[in-house]
Amino acid sequence: MKKITATIAIIFTLYSCNKEVKVVEKPIVKASEKAAFSIVIHGGAGFIKRDNISQEKEAAYRQKLEEAIRVGYNILNNGGTSIDAVQNTINILEDSPLFNSGKGAVLTNEGTCEHDASIMDGKTLNAGASAGTKTVKNPINLARAVMEHSPHVMLAREGAETFAQEQGLKIVEPSYFHTEKSLKALERVKASENTKVASFFDADIQNSKFGTVGCAALDKHGNLAAGTSTGGMTNKRWGRIGDSPIIGAGTYANNNTCAVSSTGWGEYFIRGMVAYDISALMEYKGLSLKEASKEVIQNKLPTIGNGKGNGGIIAIDSDGTIAMEFNTPGMFRATMDDKGTLYIGMFKD
Ligand code: ASP
């Protein structure tokens, strides 16, 4: 009997993994009725334009975004939790050198990789975060371990690494994270700094700063979760920590409102408390997710720091409605709904 049940379970899992996926050109953001589950991811916002990305690169990004979101989709489709979906989806992006998180993280001024991550459970408002770690292979796993196995919300640097070891998380040599791309980006940014002619709005600088990854999900049990993982910003110094590990700025989730993951120039996302602000506008002003996201990303954020507050968010509300709002030329993003409809986007249109 046990054998038959196990066989049925395997067939079911295989079926749900290979189930025909419908790919659409425009995202389905409005759940017509309450969606059973839903998932959205980002791979960073920034100077992502059709004319500065080759077809091969575009295909590589599409392939990785699809691989990642399918992992979360399968977990949710099989009745798994939104926290599991968020963590496992982010793991795929962290392991890819394409994005600024895990392997492929940008370099600090000293040429090291320092990772920040956070995760939040919308049902319990439990949260965990880690900042400035150099050896933890998947920082989102550390954030989750902080949430579930420590009495704290945020751990940093050596202490966080000791905790990660104690938790049996995978530890790697710092060199594992380094890529040629990040090294070139650091050289470019340092050269620009020296000539003093570059501004943040130069494509080179923009390109070198973004690429954080994040995920928000609603599961079949009606629970929301969000997570974010990043290497921060190229050429960061003095132990700089961005918005990504800060609950309320880089990540927020609350079953009463929404789950949000941010990406962009962290200093302004911290000052704007972006992720929480979207939730607060829904909670206190009754705005829809779309209205709240638009208000924060298009109207409020650019006014902080004289227009330097650029970036975007992905979010889901308790009905499974999705928002993907950004004020940069592009944002790597993908969504999947409970019907298996897949959308992948990069550019504004
Ligand atoms: N928000 C991140 C940071 O400032 C960077 C990014 O989203 O790419 O650390």
Nearest atom in ligand 1 to 209's CA: 8
The pLDDT of residue 48: 83
Please indicate, yes or no, whether the overall pTM of this predicted structure exceeds 0.75.
Answer: yes
The pLDDT of residue 25: 79
Mean pLDDT of all residues belonging to the chain? 90
The pLDDT of residue 247: 98
Ligand 1 proximal residues by C-beta, below 6 Å: 44, 100, 210-212, 230, 232-233, 242-244, 263-266, 269, 311
7 pLDDT above the threshold of 80: no
Q: Which of 89, 212, 251, 335 is catalytic?
A: 212
Asked: is 2-347 a CATH 3.30.750.24 domain? The reply is no
Query: Separation of 327 CA from ligand 1 center, angstroms?
Result: 14
230 in catalytic set: no
Q: Which residues contact 318 (CB under 8 A, 6 or more apart)?
A: 218, 222, 224, 255, 256, 257, 258
Give the tens place of pLDDT for each residue, 150-209. 999 999 999 999 999 999 999 999 999 999 999 998 998 888 776 654 444 455 555 555
Best of 47, 205, 212, 269 to mutate for ligand 1, by most ligand atoms within 8 A of CB? 212
Tokens encoding 236: 């960061």
Domain boundaries, the chain: 2-347
Closest Cα to atom 9 of ligand 1: 232
Burial class (CB in 10 A: 0-12, 13-18, 19+), 340: middle
Amino acid, res. 67 = E
Amino acid, res. 285 = K
